[in-house]
A and B are shown apart, each in its own frame.
Chain A
Amino acid sequence: MKLQQHRITRPPIAQWFAVDLLVLIILSLVWVLDGRLAGYSAFLGGLIVVVPNAYFAHQVYRYEGARHVRLMVGNLFRAESTKIALTAASFAAVFTLMEPVHVPALLFTFAVMVVTGSAVRWLIRPQPRR
């Protein structure tokens, strides 16, 4: 009997985060033109997106395959709620502990990184491997 080969698809997580970090560095360098504080704030705004996203990816890919799908869905819910909590806590920490902060740079970079992250995941699709 011929064994059926199933294609294993793995997401290019390292590639996604490399693009995210590259965009973050470019945005921070652009904001440095407005001043060092703006560049620093922009970098923090980007990190507030990248770090919770990395945690989310790590949690979601702890379990793989049909046998562990229930564990994976449970982890998906936990990871998402932790991601939102981490984002809120990071903002609270930045606004209370790191004075002064250039708020427009922080929020602009944060919003751009959120949209960029989603676009990158949509554009750089995983390639199926045997």
Chain B
Amino acid sequence: MDMSMVYMAAAVIIGLGALATGIGFGILGGKLLEATARQPEMANQLQVKTFIMAGLLDAVPMIGVGIAMYLIFVVAG
């Protein structure tokens, strides 16, 4: 098997995962700042909700990282 394709696949998985997480976290952080500026008394509740959403947001990219590491170190290694 051509190992360069395996490395390419791992790079695409990690790259797209990082891109999607970056966009998601950017929106999440921006909305948190915006909402806290509007209603500072809600800051604690908003922080908790942000924390929960952050966990949901990075679930799929984390699995992608796991699969990419498997491709790099086990399939190609």
Size category of the binding interface on chain A = 35 or more
**Among candidates B33, B54, B58, B73, residue contacting A91 with C-beta atoms closer than 8 Å:** B73
Contact, CB under 8 Å: B29 / A91: no
- Asked if B12 lies at the interface with its beta carbon under 8 angstroms from chain A, I say no
Given that A10-B48, A60-B51 are known contacts, is A110 also in contact with B63, CB under 8 Å in the complex?
A: yes
Report whether over half of chain B's contact residues are helix, strand or loop; otherwise say mixed: helix
- Give the chain B neighbours of A11 by CB distance below 8 A: 48, 51-52
CA distance A64 to B32 in the complex (A): 13
Contact, CB under 8 Å: B66 / A122: no
Interface residues of A in 1-37 (CB under 8 A from B): 4, 6-11
CA distance A84 to B59 in the complex (A): 11
Contact, CB under 8 Å: B66 / A110: yes
Q: How many residues of B contact A (CB 8 A)?
A: 37
Given that A9-B45, A10-B48, A66-B43 are known contacts, is A121 also in contact with B29, CB under 8 Å in the complex?
A: no
Given that A95-B70, A118-B59 are known contacts, is A8 also in contact with B44, CB under 8 Å in the complex?
A: yes
Report whether over half of chain A's contact residues are helix, strand or loop; otherwise say mixed: helix
B interface with A by C-beta (< 8 Å): 14, 18, 21, 25, 28-29, 32-33, 36, 40-41, 43-45, 47-48, 50-52, 54-56, 58-59, 61-63, 65-70, 72-74, 77
The 9 A-B pairs at the shortest CB distance, nearest first, are namely: A66-B40, A95-B73, A91-B69, A66-B43, A73-B29, A69-B36, A121-B55, A118-B59, A9-B45
